Amino acid sequence: MDPQMAEAFRWIPYGLYVLTTQRGAESRAMIVSWVSQVSYSPPLLMVALRQNRPALPAIRESGAFSLSLLSRDQKPLVDLLKEPTFQSQPSDFFRQADPKGLPSIKGACASWQCRLFSQRESGDHILIIGEVLSTMANLEGEPLTTAEFGKTYIGQA
């Protein structure tokens, strides 16, 4: 991508989310920003993940993932979770949605528990489509966006 094009892509605002997966007894959490609603009925969310992310095998194996939209006051969590290899789950950050659900972030603006609906290769990313099975919303928080964070992911490794 040429530098002018990359700079233009940096202007696209996104929310900052935590994607949580489970593979056996191992849980993973990572920061993602390329998220969008893609259907109303059934309710579907799309997440774009770089093909080398450790979350992909876990999503494919378990058939599930969770998304939590961070609130502005959760900005410090981004540095903690932004590494794709982050694995620990401090109980003060995470809550279990239900006995079969994946952990989500306490205090997030919203959370979605999804089952894997479909996936599609798209350049150097995989589009993961999840059917939303349950949600949780926090009406008091304001979403943390890439504009407030000061950095935008444009797909570079």
Domain boundaries, the chain: 3-149
Q: How confident is the model at residue 23 (pLDDT cuts 50, 70, 90)?
A: confident
pLDDT of amino acid 155:
74
Lowest mean pLDDT among 8-12, 76-80, 114-118: 76-80
Torsion (CA) 54, 104, 90, 77 in degrees, nearest 10: 80
Q: How confident is the model at residue 100 (pLDDT cuts 50, 70, 90)?
A: low
Torsion (CA) 146, 127, 30, 76 in degrees, nearest 10: 10
**At a CB cut-off of 8 Å and minimum separation 6, what does 104 contact?**
18, 20, 66, 67, 68, 94, 95, 97, 111, 113, 136
| Rounded-to-integer distance, Cα 4 and Cα 27, Å | 38
| Rounded-to-integer distance, Cα 140 and Cα 26, Å | 32
More confident residue, 64 or 154: 64
129: pLDDT strictly greater than 70? yes
Considering only the top CATH level, what class is 3-149? mainly beta
Q: 3-class DSSP state for residue 104?
A: strand
Helix (H) or strand (E) holding 90: none
Q: 3-class DSSP state for residue 4?
A: helix
How does pLDDT run across 48-87, given as a tens digit for each residue?
999 998 899 999 999 999 999 999 999 988 887 765 555 5
How large is the average pLDDT for residues 86-102? 62
